[in-house]
Structure 1
Amino acid sequence: MNTIANHIADFLREYVPFNNLTFEELSTIATNIRVINLEINKTLFQIDDSLHDSFYVVASGLINLTVITDAEERILNKCHKGSIFGLRPFFEKNNYIMTARAREESVIYAIPIAVFRPFVANNTEVLNFLLDNFAVNTRNSKSNKNVHSNLISDTVAYSGQQSEMQYFQSLSYNNSPVIVTTATIVKDVAQLMAEARTTSAIISANNLPIGIVTDKDMSSKIATGQFAITVPVKSVMVSPVITVLENVSLAEAQLLMLKNNVTHLCVTTDGSDNSEVKGVISEHDLVVAQANNPGVLLKEIKHSHTALDLKLIRTRLADLIQMSIQKNIPLTHVSNIASEINFAIIKRAVEITLLKIGSAPARFAWLSIGSQGRKEQLLPTDQDSILIFEDVEPEKYREVKDYFLNLGEKTTLILQEVGYELCPNGHMASNRLWCKSLTDWTKQYNNWINTPGENNNDLSSIFFDYEIVYGEQKIEDTINEIIFKNVTNNTLFFDFLGNDALRKNAPLTFFKKFNVEEEGPYKDKFDIKTRALMPLIDGARLFTLSHNIKGINNTYIRFKQLAITLPKYAEIFLECAEAFLVLSKFRALEGLKNDNSGQYINLDELSKTDKEKLKNALAPMKELEDLIKDTFQLTQFS
């Protein structure tokens, strides 16, 4: 191997996934690598360019990946030394959907996909790396046990957790495939494929798939004269056929095609070639499926004009959430995606109303509160919101407030049509109590915090879990400042919040049995929301407010941050974080099964293992309760 190739191999072995290859394998790759020198602002590829035959690694310099969003160029990611990008040719056939441009003078290694593909197919670690990082942006580092390298994929045009949807995005496929026997002649198979307008035919024996023939086989083996058009299809078929279950995800299907170097997958009853054929997934199906990724859903939301349009999108989101739960996708990823889409739907509902009633007479902010504000709303529970408008002249106040009440009422009705039920407690922007000026909201929060319990029956802790959905960010920032200024060293307020957190009934009895409902429509069921999730939610909120932790509303992330802020109690907080995820999943599964909020768990339908898992998730709550009592010097009866 020459000196340059040796130098490249040494460089690659420092980064994942190349560190999983032997030096001999790296030497083979390095020998075929093309070195590209890019001057500043030079473009390697751009949107709509035909795909290259290579993917790229940054040897030195900086490459910006950009996309076009709302007619503006936006930086999706910055690729530093060791970053991998330009992987689209691995997974797709259509053109690039982003631009790669040198931000400074750079050296790039172009690795031919044909050379690298066998190492992906034959090395589990490399394949798993691609699967784990498929369309996900992570921070770059030299390889070690704890940090992944930077893999900047341009398989989707949306960064962050949206791309996680690839893992559980379902596929539509041809469920009426052409199925023939081994004796059928090629000419007849071609005729059947043409009539069915499909690119493949499954060859079966005893109703089981034993092979496949595709349009590619027809062109490479028949059109070239290698085989006569009158030979039995058995002569040209590819065997065995790669089989999958019908719920295979987009990412899984793409990687199976990559690993096996095929363009079609056969769907069977049990996912093996020992069961009946149900359909065929083609590369084209994967391209079509891209239309259901979160980015496309967000684009469709932006162009929606009616509640029905939004309802259809919300239904598609529910399907994706359900499939993610079934595929054991990390709940944190699913929540992030669901929250983004939920927020986009609410924002669009506000915009649709504004188009109907005319421009707002003052700047304002629409805030989601409660589970939506915490970005924990996986199921279609009720809507919670507040509206804050900027201060106006006293003589205009009533007119302006009436406008925003109208905005709140019409928007909440749209959201009700979409599938978000009205809040039974009236915590909505359509309520006169929760739609008011910034000054009035300032007074409201001052009263809640400084005189808790005094004529404050309307105080609900969900008003301290909020996230702006539409409007002026400065208004939300002002509310943040008011809250954290008032809560600092406010013993009275934390005494009130702490006792409120301790007031929830224990999830387990003295004898470690589930504390179930004793009467009413949910008799003998376990209230997982009130008895299990709310104490964790209340505890996380209490500690983050008392330790001045700003900008974090999500319960799981609050506990994670608390573990960093208060290392002495890190173990308790981390156990609470994991417990919250486990309990949230139980609730989501119950809700998806019964098409409701999942609040009441039917314990009789749980397996013994699941009951133990549920009971174990409740264990950290006693430690959290004791920590609250100790930290804030409370008793449950104070």
Structure 2
Amino acid sequence: MVYYSIHTKIKGVKNTIAERIQDFLKQFPPFSLLSKEELLFVSSQIRVLYLEKGAYVFRQDEQCHDEFYIVREGAIGLYRTTGNIQNFVDICDSGDLFGLRIMIIKKNYRMAALANEESIVYAIPSSVFKPFIDENKEVNNFLLETFATHARNYFTETEKGKKIDNTITIEPASDLSTLRTISYRKKPLICTSDAIVKDIAIEMNAKKSDAIVVVDDQKYPIGIITDSDLRAKVATGLISTESHVTEVMTTPVKAYSKKITVAEAQIALIKNNISHLCITKDGTRNSKTVGVFSNHDLLVSFGNNPSVLIKEIKRVKKIQRLRYIRKQVERLLTTYLEQDIPTMHILNLISEINDALVVRTIDLSLQEMDSSPPVLFSFLVIGSQGRREQLLITDQDNAIVFEDVEEIRYTETQNYFLELARRITKNLHTIGFEYCPAEMMASNPRWCMSVSEWEKQFRDWMTTPTEESTLLSSIFFDFQAVYGDTDMVNQLSDVVFDGVNKSKRFLGLLGVSALQKPSPLGFFKQFLVEQNGEHKDTFDIKIRAMMVLIDGARILALYHNLKGINNTLLRYEKLAALEPNNKELFESCAKAFRVLLKFRARQGLMHKDSGRYIQLNTLSKNDKLKLKRCFRPIRDIQEVLRVRFQLKTYM
């Protein structure tokens, strides 16, 4: 295993090799961020390495080289040896950087890099490239992100909590929660100066309000009365309940514009030692009152504490308030993504908040009903929320299972839960969860049944599968109970796994569905986009990329009888332990799915949609490369399904 190198340094004469290198490098970040002259200079200092298959660029624990590398042709594998076992970490092909420790940490290599096939690699001296890192923030960030990607692939699993000691500086992420404008309570309670204390106290209690603004004829604020004012001045007997509000109110009020930031509002509350700010049209006391902002609102504004949001959700009395909190969750997600919080951590936190939103919605919907539920029931979420992978609000996918009743009572019982479901789905829609276009919601009689009817339906899907039932199985078998009785849900889970154990053919049909998902890339590795319809010329990241990974994890989880594990990442983690021979594949599937989840979430937040359909012309070269790297495991997991279930016999 030998390699050859060619130095391409220019000494005052035109160098065609350097120009060819420049033409290649300018296609890829961070080199695409340099000027033509800068890039030609870098290209002139590069060594060209020709490596035979199996040749090492560097070995694990070897002293860090004074250069880093980019693959010109071929493929370089990154491997980590533990004991006597060499574990695959990542693969680098044309345009991929590796060996960046010299630019980041300058310690011995923690992985080995060797040619998986005959390859050409460019070696870039660190001393040549370092000035561009110091001068160009985008170059700095790209190199750091690329290094972190390789590092996380290994270290995230083995050295949790450890931080990379970077010599490249990064500006600390700003606390976005304090820089955004406040979300205040609109349409505040108001009264005039001749109002009686007793009357406004009754109104505050009825409206569950902790403050009322006293206004003049033009609705300019002249004072404010809070719960604490009533306790301190009225409940103690200092002022009579029959007094006018002017004797109790705090005046003058502190008025601010609705454009005040959370940080500014916090300072104003602390500085003035008050609990409420009055929000007016122009930010002065001489304009119309439009809202109130309180200490409690401030607490909720600090959305980087999920427990605060969940506590607030449990206290909410009106559905509309839940919509406001859901907006806070979107801001929380934005902050998490910008701070690059681990994917599983984000999923767990957002899922807990989403579950709390659903639970509170059901509680409030039950209060709207004329009577209590006639029997025990459970509310199920399915699809992405059932897998605890719903970062952005998308369509509703839910169902109700209720306790078995005598046949004579069945219609009446089902009608009760259909009405309850109608209220729940309507209220979820108010919060921001769109109605499912296919009506896969509990308000549909098909998805609101007794436990026995559900069991029968699940068995029918598995024993006499059709194209529709196979599709429905892939959706409904990722269910999770978020409200009500769990025993019935466990019964349904037992039915699913019992049916799978009796019919491997059913898993084969699910596998065929996974194989038939449209490919993300064409023959020449170009993105395949939608050819017609509303989303023409966009890339469907859900169907063309994410769903195969989701389907593969589900099918293999059913194959191994992995009960109680719905999340795709957790499924792959468990599968890697159960099938050591496929460990590298399952780990690469999990890595790809993490990247795709975050990518879709960022796209959705940026364009204020589900993030599913992506305009490729809006993506940078770097983003496109990231996506393409995620597609590598898709074909491999499809091949596992094809071989495991002998799918050619079903196609």
Cα deviation code 1:222-259 (max 9, x no counterpart): xxxxxxxxxxxxxxxxxxxxxxxx999xxxxxxxxxxx
Deviations 1:573-601 (A, max 9, x none): 10000000111111111111110001111
The amino acid of 1:419's aligned partner reads G
Give the letter aligned to residue 627 of structure 2. L
Corresponding position of 1:347: 359
* Residue equivalent to 1:325: 337
Residues in 1 aligned to 2:495 and 2:503: alpha-carbon distance in whole angstroms: 13
Correspondence for 2:474 among 453, 461, 469: 461
The residue number in structure 2 matching 1:310 is 322
Superposed CA deviations along residues 518-556 of structure 1, whole A, max 9, x for unmatched, are 122322211000100011111110000011011111111
Give the 3-state SS of the residue equivalent to 1:552 in structure 2.
coil
> 1:459 Cα shift?
2.8
Equivalent residue, structure 2, for 1:499: 512
Q: For residues 636 and 593 of structure 1, what CA distance do their matches in structure 2 show?
A: 44
What SS does the aligned partner of 2:482 have?
strand
Q: How does 1:556-635 map to 2 (within 5 A)?
A: 556-635=569-648
Cα deviation, residue 333, structure 1: 1.2
Q: Is the Cα contact below 8 Å between 1:365 and 1:473 reproduced in 2?
A: yes
Query: What is the alpha-carbon distance in structure 2 between the residues aligned to residue 168 and residue 550 of structure 1?
Result: 41
User: Contact 1:168 / 1:327 at 8 angstroms: preserved in 2?
Assistant: no
Determine the structure 1 residue equivalent to 2:121: none
Q: Is the 8 A contact 1:169 1:320 kept in 2?
A: no
Q: Mapping of 1:284-295 within 5 angstroms?
A: 293-295=305-307
Equivalent residue for 1:421, pick from 434, 447, 453: 434
Q: Runs of 5+ in structure 2 lacking a partner? A: 1-157, 163-172, 182-260, 264-295
Q: Is the 8 A contact 1:427 1:434 kept in 2?
A: yes
Partner of residue 347, structure 2 = 335
Structure 1: how far apart are the matches of 2:612 and 2:334? 17
Q: Which residue identity does 1:172 align to in structure 2?
A: T
Q: In 1, distance between residues paired with 2:355 and 2:607? A: 24
Letter in 2 for 1:407: L
Which residue number corresponds to residue 432 of structure 1? 445
Q: 1: CA distance between counterparts of 2:599 and 2:303?
A: 30
Counterpart among 287, 293, 299 of residue 311 in structure 2: 299
1:556 and 1:577 in contact (8 A); partners too: yes
Task: Give the structure 2 partner of residue 477 of structure 1.
Answer: 490
Match of 1:172 in 2: 178
Change (3 A) 1:458 1:410: farther
Query: In structure 2, which of residues 526, 535, 538 is the aligned counterpart of residue 513 of structure 1?
Result: 526
Q: Secondary structure at the match of 2:462?
A: helix
Structure 1 residue runs of 5 or longer lacking an equivalent are 1-144, 150-166, 176-245, 249-283
1:2-13 paired onto structure 2 within 5 Å: none
8 Å contact from structure 1 (residues 388, 437) kept in 2: yes
CA distance in 1: counterparts of 2:626 and 2:415, whole angstroms: 51
Paired residue for 2:237?
none
Count residues in correspondence.
Answer: 372
Distance (whole Å) between structure 2 residues aligned to residue 148 and residue 324 of structure 1: 16
The one-letter code of the counterpart of 2:572 is: F
Aligned to 2:223: none
CA distance, structure 1, for counterparts of residue 367 and residue 452 of structure 2: 27
1:128-171 deviation line (CA, Å, top 9, x unaligned): xxxxxxxxxxxxxxxxx84779xxxxxxxxxxxxxxxxx99744
Task: Give, in whole Å, the separation in 2 of the partners of 1:474 and 1:631.
Answer: 33
CA distance in 2: counterparts of 1:328 and 1:493, whole angstroms: 39
Q: Contact conserved, 1:168 with 1:324, CA < 8 A, in 2?
A: no
Of 534, 542, 553 in structure 1, the residue corresponding to residue 555 of structure 2 is: 542
Contact 1:171 1:285 in 2 (8 A): no
Q: Distance in 1 between matches of 2:310 and 2:607?
A: 27
Aligned equivalent of 2:397, options 384, 388, 407 = 384
Is the Cα–Cα contact under 8 Å of residues 603 and 611 in structure 2 kept in the other structure? yes
Structure 2 distance, partners of 1:422, 1:453, is 26
Structure-2 residue corresponding to 1:531: 544
Taking the aligned partners of 1:451 and 1:338, their CA distance within structure 2 comes to 37
RMSD over equivalenced CA pairs, Å: 2.6
- Structure-2 change in CA distance of 1:558 and 1:355 (3 Å): same
CA change 1:293–1:453 in 2 (3 A) is same
User: What SS does the corresponding residue of 1:344 show, helix, strand or coil?
Assistant: helix
Structure 1 length-normalised TM:
0.55
Query: Partner of 1:444 in structure 2?
Result: 457
The Cα shift of 1:417 comes to: 0.5
1: CA distance, partners of 2:320 / 2:298: 27
C-alpha spacing 1:506/1:173, structure 2 compared with 1 (3 Å):
closer
Q: Please give the alpha-carbon distance, in whole angstroms, between the structure 1 residues aligned to 2:595 and 2:566.
A: 19
* CA gap 1:379/1:404 in 2 versus in 1, 3 angstroms: same
Q: Which residue number in structure 2 is paired with residue 22 of structure 1?
A: none
Question: Aligned partners of 1:453, 1:499: CA distance in 2, in Å?
Answer: 12
- Structure 1 SS opposite 2:449: strand
Residue aligned with 1:308, SS: helix
Q: Tell me, in whole angstroms, the C-alpha distance in 1 between the residues paired with 2:422 and 2:300.
A: 38
Q: What is the correspondence of 1:89-238 to structure 2 with a 5 Å cutoff? A: 146=159, 170-172=176-178
Change (3 A) 1:421 1:147: closer
- Counterpart of 1:367 in 2: which secondary structure? strand
SS of structure 2 residue aligned to 1:424? coil
Deviation, structure 1 residue 304? 1.2
Q: Summarize the alignment of residues 76-91 of structure 1 with structure 2, pairs less than 5 Å apart.
A: none
Structure showing greater radius of gyration is: 2
Aligned residue identity for 2:395: D
8 Å contact 2:177–2:304 — kept in the other structure? no
**Residue type of the alignment partner of 1:400:** T
Amino acid at match of 1:629: R
2-side partners of 1:489 and 1:381: how far apart? 35
Distance 2:487 2:403 in 1: 10
Seq. identity, %: 44
Deviation at 1:362, TM superposition (A): 0.3
Contact 1:367 1:470 (8 Å CA) reproduced = yes
Q: Quote the Cα distance in structure 2 between the aligned partners of 1:297 and 1:596.
A: 23
2:412 counterpart residue number = 399
**2:421 corresponding residue in structure 1:** 408
Query: Residues of 2 paired with 1:441 and 1:289: CA distance?
Result: 42
Q: Kindly indicate whether the alpha-carbon contact (under 8 Å) linking 1:388 and 1:436 is maintained by their aligned counterparts in 2.
A: yes
- The alignment partner of 1:462 has SS state of helix
CA contact (8 A) 1:526 1:601 kept: yes
Give the whole-Å Cα distance in 2 for the aligned partners of 1:374 and 1:298: 20
Which residue of 356, 363, 382 corresponds with 2:376? 363
Q: Distance in 1 between matches of 2:368 and 2:590?
A: 43
